[in-house]
Amino acid sequence: MSPKEYSNIIRFQRALSIIRNSDENKSLSDIAFECGYYDHAHLSNEIKRNTGMAPSQI
């Protein structure tokens, strides 16, 4: 596994953790920027690629 792949996995796990455990209703854009994604579309694509589900289904 390359360092970039590892970094992407860690970043995705952090975003997923925030989505699942957030007491507040944070927007996907806020979570994306907090975790280092360029915008919410990139985070949405990562969610779909890694889980096979849309962000609204998580």
pLDDT of residue 24: 72
pLDDT of residue 58: 77
pLDDT of residue 49: 92
Query: What is the distance between the alpha carbons of residues 39 and 37, in angstroms, rounded to a whole number?
Result: 6
Residue 33 to residues 1, 2, 15, 27: CA-CA distances in angstroms? Answer: 25, 23, 10, 10
Architecture of domain 3-52: Orthogonal Bundle (1.10)
pLDDT of residue 55: 83
What length does the chain have?
58
- What's at 23, amino acid-wise? D
pLDDT per residue over 19-58, tens digit each? 888 777 788 899 999 999 999 999 999 999 999 998 888 7
pLDDT of residue 15: 93
Residue extents of the structural domains in the chain: 3-52
